[in-house]
Chain A
Amino acid sequence: AQKVTQAQTEISVVEKEDVTLDCVYETRDTTYYLFWYKQPPSGELVFLIRRNSFDEQNEISGRYSWNFQKSTSSFNFTITASQVVDSAVYFCALSERGNNNDMRFGAGTRLTVKP
């Protein structure tokens, strides 16, 4: 069965610091999809990125970047020059093509950015 591990339960940084959120996954499928979602204090889940297993190219979007490495089954998320508004819980998720649409979420990492 698929599994997503976010070992960092909570991270606290000071504004303008860079921070990396780790995500390690387990799957037996060769085709799968990885996601990151953000859950700010207001509670909604906001989609950040989707990556399929055949695309290992790293992604950069503004201050956000993602490092996908199949060799280590990791899909890490880095925020550069963090801001207070980045404070949220961040979830990594995995869905397998062969699994009946069951998207599994990690436990989440709570990021606090202090001014």
Chain B
Amino acid sequence: DAGVIQSPRHEVTEMGQEVTLRCKPISGHDYLFWYRQTMMRGLELLIYFNNNVPIDDSGMPEDRFSAKMPNASFSTLKIQPSEPRDSAVYFCASSSGLAGPREDTQYFGPGTRLTVL
């Protein structure tokens, strides 16, 4: 079975530009998570969805960040306008939630390495 798919794998953009990161969760998984990984802060949960509905976005750093999940097989994380401090690796993960979101295991995508110049 295919794992979590993220695109693009690498993104280089200039400050002020809009950036859209994409994620396809594992088929049948009801939970989708967006994480950011930086050297300074490690792995941070940004937002997660359950059945396409955002449940907790308290980790989203500021209003420049937004995430959507229009259907069960697709989610986007958008940064507008982007800033150099947004440079990081962004991971998407999904879990089946069969035994609850915390019981079940989150499987991660390969990540998108974002560089904002």
Contacts and interface: CB of A to CB of B under 8 A. Distances in A.
A60 interface: no
A95 interface: yes
B113 A101 contact: no
**Interface hub of B56, B105, B109, B110 (most chain A Cβ within 10 A):** B105
A105 B43 contact: yes
B42 A44 contact: no
Contact of A43 (B48, B55, B113): B113
A83 B43 CA distance: 26
B103 interface: yes
B108 A101 contact: no
Interface in B90-117: 91, 93, 100-103, 105-111, 113
Interface residues of B, number: 24
A68 to B, nearest CB: 16
Interface residues of A, number: 26
A91 interface: yes
Given A100-B55, A100-B56, A105-B43, A43 B103 contact: no
Interface of B: 31, 33, 42-43, 45, 48, 55-56, 59, 89, 91, 93, 100-103, 105-111, 113
Interface of A: 32-33, 35, 37, 42-47, 50, 52, 91, 93, 95-97, 99-103, 105-108
Which 7 pairs, one residue from A and one from B, show the smallest C-beta to C-beta distance? A45-B108, A105-B43, A95-B102, A101-B101, A44-B110, A100-B56, A50-B105
28 contacts: A33-B102, A35-B106, A37-B108, A42-B110, A43-B89, A43-B110, A43-B111, A44-B109, A45-B91, A47-B105, A47-B107, A50-B105, A52-B103, A91-B43, A93-B43, A97-B102, A97-B103, A100-B55, A100-B56, A101-B31, A101-B48, A102-B45, A102-B59, A103-B45, A103-B102, A103-B106, A106-B42, A107-B42
